[in-house]
Amino acid sequence: MALHGNTARPTDLIGLKINKYMLQDTETIESKYQLFINRVAATKLVWALKSKDGWANSHSNDDEAIIVIPFWSDRAYAKVCAKDDWKGYLPVEIPLADFLENWCVELAENEVLAGINWDANMFGKESEALSVALDILKQLDAIDSAIVFKNYSSINEFITEISE
């Protein structure tokens, strides 16, 4: 029996499997990102890893010249990443207002990306810090959250400022 037409070749099936896994990975990354946004808006805490030498950081998967500082929505997520190069680092909480006003703004000024809810394999989203801040601020607004900023009188003023 001869095979004709659009019959998949074995190499095509490998491509389909790779695309399926890439899609799952993209969905996982986006899911973990959305979990971060929702969770930090609810708890008003962000977690990072710190040692006596400073904050944990890495290079971007897309460009070795770009620095990424990872952040997590929960202490436990940060703690599982305190291994290998980050052994001896401890989870440290950052109040959300401080994260938004200081961390995100400074990261953006220095062209440093935010790594969001990376897993133990350092798998997760790398985002521009002001995009992360904007997503958190929109979530805070959506849930009608009360949060006090030092430099902004309201969530909407902060959104307007960083959207320009």
Rounded-to-10 torsion of CA 36, 82, 54, 71: -10
Residue 121: the pLDDT is 84
Domains and CATH numbers, the chain: 39-163 (3.40.1350.90)
Mean pLDDT, to the nearest integer, of 80-97?
96
Burial of 140 (0-12, 13-18, 19+ CB in 10 A): buried
CB 47 within 8 A of CB 75: yes
Q: Return all residues near 161 (Cβ < 8 A) that are at least 6 apart.
A: 152
Task: Decide if pLDDT at 18 tops 60.
Answer: no
Q: How confident is the model at residue 138 (pLDDT cuts 50, 70, 90)?
A: very high
Indicate the average pLDDT of the chain.
86
Nearest Cα to 149, choosing from 135, 161, 163, 131? Answer: 161
Q: CA distances (Å), 136 to each of 35, 54, 81, 90, 140, in order?
A: 11, 25, 23, 24, 6
CB 63 within 8 A of CB 111: no
- Whether this model's pTM surpasses 0.75: yes
Give per-residue pLDDT as tens, 24-46: 477 888 999 999 999 999 999 99
Dist. CA 55–CA 125, nearest whole Å: 18
